[in-house]
Amino acid sequence: MDMQTTLKTRAEAEAAAETRAPRSFSTRNLAIGAMALAFVAGIGWQALHRPAQATVAPEVMLGVATPLASQVVQWDDYVGRFAPSQSVEVRPRVAGQITALHFHDGDLVQKGQLLFTIDQRPYQAALAEAQANVASAASALALAKSDYARVGRLTGDEAVSAGEVDSLRSRMQSAQAALAAAQARARQRALDMEWTQVRAPISGRISDRRVDVGNLVAAGEGANASLLTTINALNPIYYTFDSSEALYLKAQRDRAKNGQAPEVEIKLQDESGYNWKGRLDFTDNGLDPHSGTIRGRAIIDNPKLFLAPGMFGNMRLSNGGTVQALMVPDEAIQSDQARKTVLVVGKGGTVAAKPVELGPVVRGLRIIRSGLLPTDQVVVTNFQAAMPGAKVSVHNEPIKPAPVATDPGISAPVAAQATLAH
């Protein structure tokens, strides 16, 4: 059988096989599928047994700096209110009807300035009567002196008995006493007359009037007398505050160690800086056993009378004096539950957390009371990438305090309404 006949016979046999099983894979398709599965399995085995490539972590770059060492003034913070350096309730010393008012509510008044006038007519009459009594007593004294002098010149048969002389001397002395009593009553009536003009006992800002013209006012002792108005002395003005026992002890020890008079600086509610300067004026002689606090007072110059009694203010007192302190940016402080920590980079570029004790903030920098060394490399930038125990690269980033504000400004409350100006 030749080659052509053999190929023809094989093709007919394959066609017959396909005719017998039309819905099954052909032998050729099965062979192709088996070869594909073997190829895929080989690729998967190579992927599983291929050696893994080493992953390179990105390099972390941190800014570090040694703590800034500087001379700082240590302050203690207090809260208090302003109070007048003098305060007087103006009350009448004689009773009567108010006939005149000589000030406007809220005026600045000077010591001795006339404020109210009380009806003077009854007191003028009483003064005139007292002065007449003085004149009568003076006349009686003159007669008694004349009679006594006359009997003193008599001698011989004209002389009078010793009893008459003593009687005339006694009458003269009684007339002298009567004159003195009359003069005292006249002075009292003159005082009553003077007190019908109610004058300012101190200089300061006066409150509103509590009585109007035409009202009757009562005199008396203390609160029994009618209240006419009040006057507060505002220059200088007091600042009163309460100090805790802990701050009081600290202030006492700091003062004994430094020997410096503490400075006082006060900030108002709408101010961002401590613009008001003063000095400590008074500390009470004991602590209140109920509250555990002690009263203190500072005195502040107030020439423009801007400060008013009752105003709230934050005060700081320089009890600690000037000391050398280490400072870092306030943002570099991290919280670890109740602890405060600072991240530092040690030898080999390893980050570590150091617990620290914090002081106040000075121009954006936090004072570190303890926990840091002057040579520590403190992380001051890229804090989020700094993790304790991590290896990092560093570059120097100097610490600079924030500039001093030349105009601290105010933060006034927003107006409730506004209209267009015409």
Enumerate domains of the chain plus CATH numbers: 62-72+324-396 (2.40.420.20), 74-84+233-322 (2.40.30.170), 93-115+197-227 (no CATH), 120-195 (1.10.287)
The pair of three-digit structure tokens given for residue 38, joined into one six-digit string:
């073997």
Query: Residue 327 contacts by C-beta under 8 Å, 6 or more apart in sequence?
Result: 67, 68, 69, 70, 72, 362, 365, 366, 367, 368, 399, 401
Q: How far apart are CA 25 and CA 314, in angstroms?
A: 95
The pTM (predicted TM-score) of the whole model is 0.67
pLDDT, one tens digit per residue, over 29-83 is 555 555 555 554 555 545 445 554 444 445 678 888 889 888 887 778 889 999 9
Q: Is the pLDDT assigned to residue 401 strictly greater than 50?
A: yes
Determine contact, residues 159/76, Cβ cutoff 8 Å.
no
- Which of 354, 351, 330, 331 shows the shortest CA–CA distance to 342? 354
Residues sharing a CB contact under 8 Å with residue 121, sequence separation 6 or more, in sequence order: none
In this prediction, residue 403 carries a pLDDT of 77
Determine the Cα angle at 288 with ends 287 and 290, to 5°. Answer: 140
pLDDT digits (tens, 9 = 90+) for 182-223: 999 999 999 999 999 999 999 999 999 999 999 999 998 777
